[in-house]
């Protein structure tokens, strides 16, 4: 079964995660993918296949004589994004795509290169789209399919290699992917997540991320007799937000520029709560954002009374760059692999997070490789057979690169 068939089989298994669920995995559906992967890997001949807490692991032993080579891990996630319908995926396969509009037959929407110019580069490819009623799940079932295809090729024994470690995680889309990942048991010395992005992309810089919980306390007084008495917490919440730099918001920033983003506000006159996410590639600048919020709170407490505004900041994840730089061969080997596969390496800072960032801080240096997909998390998500095949080749060339060291 080639990579396209593996991919089609996987996307038909529903597996959205659920941020409101405290369980691991957050949805029982993800276990359907985990059980599928456990069965498939055992049938392929992968060694030491095991499952725990919805995480699935496997190994391909080193070729005799290559036992001292670096153990390389490949990791992808099983869940799909909860932001858009991921139930009942019906992939459309268009062979020899002509570069024109594609009807998403289930909804009547049109996938057009006028809206998504990247499609023009897929002319002649076998294009896989949604039917318009769901996302596709290329993020990240393309990564899973590519890892499985690479593993199947390695198991044929024609490519000498060190130990290869395979890992599949739940709940990446809700930020919990690495939380119960068994780094020690995984036993890789370096790793690569295959997760989203164009074929040939490699990412090793991501945001530093904090979350700020802001609580505003007021006084609820009947509006008819509220003069000089009412303290409207919602109005103060809006005032707090205006004290933060207006141009440092997601809609005004790009590249290495960080931001403040209020993504939740609820409450009433008496009490309200705001949740902010704070992002910056530079850790000192991220810390300064937290200080700015505390200064805003202090200013409003001077105006409205001590304890009116409180800000609690928690760390979410950190930029993997400082963990990657000391072992930069993980990047140089990947870049050479991409060139050997006929592509030009593209490195851009991630304006978000990745399982690899957390895993890097857990002791497994783990940059991210693209899987060929685009338009993730929605009805216009797509990928191509040729993109996925190139990603398989990149993974194999990485294996060869470490075997040659």
pLDDT digits (tens, 9 = 90+) for 378-390: 999 999 999 999 9
Compute the average pLDDT of residues 157-172: 97
pLDDT at 350: 87
Catalytic residue at 79? yes
> Which ranges in the chain are annotated with CATH 3.30.70.360?
208-316
Query: 187: helix, coil or strand?
Result: coil
Measured at the CA of 341, the angle between CA 74 and CA 158, to 5 degrees, comes to 65
**pTM for the whole thing?**
0.87
At residue 316, the pLDDT reads 84
pLDDT of residue 197: 87
Q: How would CATH label the architecture of 3-205+319-403?
A: 3-Layer(aba) Sandwich (3.40)
- Given a contact cutoff of 8 angstroms between Cβ atoms, the answer to whether 77 and 15 are in contact is no
- Catalytic-role residue among 14, 59, 79, 397: 79
pLDDT in tens, 82-91: 999 999 999 9
- Mean pLDDT along residues 142-152: 98
Helix (H, G, I), strand (E, B) or coil at 63: coil
Q: What is the pLDDT of residue 133?
A: 98
Q: What is d(CA 46, CA 167) in angstroms, rounded to the nearest whole number?
A: 12
Q: What is the pLDDT of residue 101?
A: 98
| pLDDT tens-digit series, residues 27-53 | 999 999 999 999 999 999 999 999 999
How many C-alpha atoms does 62 have within 13 Å on its Cβ side?
15
In the CATH hierarchy, which fold is given to the domain comprising 208-316? Alpha-Beta Plaits (3.30.70)
- The answer to whether residues 396 and 333 touch, using CB atoms and an 8 Å cutoff, is no
Q: Is the dihedral of CA 218, 221, 223, 229 positive or negative?
A: negative
Give the pLDDT band of residue 229 (cuts 50, 70, 90). Answer: confident
Distance CA 271, CA 242 (A): 18
pLDDT of 1 > 80? The answer is no
Active-site residue (options: 18, 38, 172, 389): 172
pLDDT, position 21: 95
CA distance 292 to 294: 5
Residue 68 to residue 162: CA distance in whole angstroms? 7
How many residues are there in the chain?
Answer: 405
The count of other CB atoms within 10 Å of the CB of residue 2 is: 13
Partnered with residue 350 across adjacent β-strands are: 206
Q: How many Å apart are CA 197 and CA 374, to the nearest integer? A: 6
**Distance between CA 2 and CA 7 in Å, rounded?**
9
CATH 3.40.630.10 segments of the chain: 3-205+319-403
Does the annotation mark 172 as catalytic? yes
Burial code (b: 16+ CB inside 10 Å, e: under 16) for 365-400 equals bbbbbbbbbbbbbebbbbbbbbbbbbbbbbbbbbbb
Residue 172, both tokens = 């990446």
pLDDT at residue 352 tops 90: no
pLDDT for position 354: 81
pLDDT band per the 50, 70, 90 thresholds, residue 12: very high
């Amino acid at each position: 079964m080639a990579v396209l068939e593996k991919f089609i089989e996987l996307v038909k298994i529903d597996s959205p995660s659920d941020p409101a669920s405290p369980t691991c995995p957050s949805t029982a559906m993800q276990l359907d993918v985990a059980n599928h992967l456990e069965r498939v890997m055992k049938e392929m001949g992968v060694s030491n296949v095991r499952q725990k807490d919805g995480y699935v692991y496997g190994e391909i032993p080193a070729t005799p004589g290559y036992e001292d080579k670096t153990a390389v891990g490949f990791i992808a996630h099983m869940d799909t994004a909860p932001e858009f319908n991921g139930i009942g995926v019906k992939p459309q396969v268009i062979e020899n795509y002509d570069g024109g509009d594609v009807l998403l037959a289930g909804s009547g929407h049109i996938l057009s290169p006028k809206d998504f110019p990247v499609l023009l580069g897929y002319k002649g490819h076998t294009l896989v789209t949604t039917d318009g009623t769901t996302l596709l799940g290329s993020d990240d079932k393309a990564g899973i399919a590519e890892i499985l295809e690479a593993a199947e090729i390695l198991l044929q024994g024609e490519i000498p290699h060190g130990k290869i470690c395979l890992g599949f995680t739940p709940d990446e889309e809700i930020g919990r992917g690495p939380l119960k990942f068994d780094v020690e048991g995984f036993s890789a010395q370096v790793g690569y997540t295959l997760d989203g992005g164009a074929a040939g992309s490699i990412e090793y810089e991501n945001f530093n991320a904090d979350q700020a919980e802001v609580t505003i306390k007021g006084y609820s007084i009947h509006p008819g007799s509220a003069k000089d008495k009412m303290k409207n917490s919602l109005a103060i919440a809006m005032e707090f937000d205006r004290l933060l730099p207006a141009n440092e918001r997601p809609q005004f920033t790009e590249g290495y520029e960080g931001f403040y983003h209020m993504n939740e506000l609820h409450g009433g006159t008496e009490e309200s709560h705001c949740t902010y996410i704070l992002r910056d590639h530079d850790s000192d600048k991220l810390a300064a954002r937290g200080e700015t919020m505390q200064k805003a709170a202090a200013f409003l407490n001077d105006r409205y009374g001590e304890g009116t505004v409180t800000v609690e900041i928690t760390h979410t994840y950190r930029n993997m760059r400082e963990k990657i730089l000391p072992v930069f061969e993980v990047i140089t080997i990947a870049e050479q692999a991409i060139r050997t596969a006929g592509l030009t390496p593209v490195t851009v800072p991630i304006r978000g997070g990745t399982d690899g960032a957390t895993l890097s801080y857990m002791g497994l240096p783990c940059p991210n490789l693209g899987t060929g997909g685009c338009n993730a998390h929605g009805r216009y998500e797509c990928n191509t057979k040729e993109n996925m095949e190139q990603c398989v080749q990149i993974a194999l060339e990485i294996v060869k690169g470490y075997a040659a060291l």
